[in-house]
Amino acid sequence: MAVVSSAHSAIFSKTSLFHHINGFKRFSSCLPFSSSAAASLSSKKKWRQPVASSVLELGGIKIAKDDVVRDDPTNNVPDTIFSKLGMQLHRRNDHPIGILKNGIYEYFDTNYPTKFDKFDDLCPIVSVKQNFDDVLVPADHVSRSYNDTYYVDSQTVLRCHTSAHQAELLRRGHTHFLVTGDVYRRDSIDSTHYPVFHQMEGVRVFTPDIWEGSGLDPTSYAAEDLKKSLEGLARHLFGAVEMRWIDAYFPFTNPSYELEIYFKEKWMEVLGCGVMEQEILKSNGRLDSVAWAFGLGLERLAMVLFDIPDIRLFWTTDERFTSQFSEGQMGVKFKPFSKYPPCYKDMSFWINESFTENNLCEVIRGIAGDLVEEVSLIDNFTNKKGMTSHCYRIAYRSMERSLTDEEINNLQWNVREQVQKKLNVVLR
């Protein structure tokens, strides 16, 4: 089920939208793009980092750079995002994201043997219908905007959540499934936000013969089973922790809940969930059924379980990070290795009506990449003429080496130049 960040106005988990293939064929809808990627199928290859690659292979389908990054007025996918498409951290068994995914698999395999089908290589390029309409996201919802979502073209996006595959899987007859994948969101820059992260969605469908005789109506039966299942998952990951359920609202579930645990002396949201809206089930051939769904952000939980302080670390290839983790070793505490200080640069400008902070962060990321640690608004005022000025503080820091003054000054100069050019603001 979908999970939402603040930018997406809270649609399942506050960290992000809404923080085995078992015989299933890849979606043909992976390809609503150019003929150069027209569906060239080949055998699955072992994961490799796509350094400066112009062609990626995902789920057996070849994707060329111009299938994702195009000179098109509706396309807002930068080169830096294309470079992340093939990395699939969730499929690396010795990476914290993959270790956590497999730990969740272990829970469901133990408690529901052979029931849950698992999907972790579905193509992240989906239609607007799959990403929004099929999970009842309203037509005017902020998450549909070009400010929040990466559009390949007007009808195609990089998925914002793993729920984009929910309807297709239901139509194909799957009744118990877990979908894990990389998802993409234009967002702010700080230690817990990154334009690419990973989600897992779980769905369980019940037919009348399952709840009849229980003495409960179908919705209550599904809700009770959902809470029991997810409380068990929380104990599996965090141990014997105190838990509480919070009533919530999501457009695709009713009733809806958030699960919180008391961990390290504070309440922490773990996931969002609920009983699936009947409209979704009926639209996908499950007329007499009820279902529950949950969604969780893997980075959010992995940062807590492994004590990882900065979300950028998940993407580093530095052996001082990667060598600390091993397959099957859940909860190994990360030992920091970077002692390099941040360097701060301020930038002030008069904004216009079209200015958004997400667009600013996108420009800065495009120049500084993972060398930018945080972008924060430190001053905001409007003068007597009605003109509004923003001052942003940019923190530059490498987790792997010291940055030179010359390098930082060049970055800041390029940032100022591109912000003025691309966002049409007036520097002060």
Cα distance between residue 191 and residue 15, in whole Å: 12
pTM of the model: 0.86
The candidate with the shortest Cα–Cα distance to 190, out of 7, 10, 322, is 7
Where are the domain boundaries for CATH 3.30.70.380 in the chain? Answer: 343-427
Tokens read off for 69: 């990054």
Is the Cβ–Cβ distance between 394 and 344 less than 8 Å?
A: yes
Tokens read off for 216: 């409960």
Where are the domain boundaries for CATH 3.30.930.10 in the chain? Answer: 55-323
Q: Which residues pair with 157 in a beta bridge?
A: 126, 151
Cα distance between residue 349 and residue 222, in whole Å: 53
Cα distance between residue 142 and residue 144, in whole Å: 5
The candidate with the shortest Cα–Cα distance to 143, out of 174, 102, 101, 185, is 185
pLDDT value of residue 22: 35
User: What residues contact residue 227 under an 8 Å CB cut-off, 6+ apart?
Assistant: 245, 257
What's the full length of the chain, in residues? Answer: 428
Tokens read off for 159: 């998925």
Identify the CATH homologous superfamily for domain 55-323.
Bira Bifunctional Protein; Domain 2 (3.30.930.10)
Tokens read off for 121: 């290589």
pLDDT value of residue 7: 37
Tokens read off for 42: 């080949």
pLDDT value of residue 2: 53
Q: Write the class of the CATH domain 343-427.
A: alpha beta
Q: State the 10-residue block means of pLDDT for the chain, 428 residues long.
A: 43 40 36 34 36 64 86 92 91 97 97 96 95 94 94 95 96 97 95 95 96 93 97 95 94 94 90 96 94 96 95 94 95 89 95 95 95 96 94 94 92 96 95
Cα distance between residue 359 and residue 341, in whole Å: 27
pLDDT value of residue 8: 41
pLDDT value of residue 1: 65
Question: What is the distance of C-alpha 61 from the center of its chain?
Answer: 21
CA distances from 280 to 222, 293, 393, 422 (A): 15, 12, 44, 40
- The shares of helix, strand and coil residues in the chain, as percent rounded to the nearest 5, are 30, 25, 40
pLDDT value of residue 338: 80
Q: Rg of the Cα trace of the chain?
A: 22
Helix (H) or strand (E) holding 102: helix 96-111
pLDDT value of residue 273: 96
Dihedrals φ, ψ of 60, to 5°?
85, 0
- Reported as a single tens digit per residue, the pLDDT across 169-209 is 999 999 999 999 999 999 999 999 999 999 999 999 999 99
pLDDT value of residue 58: 72
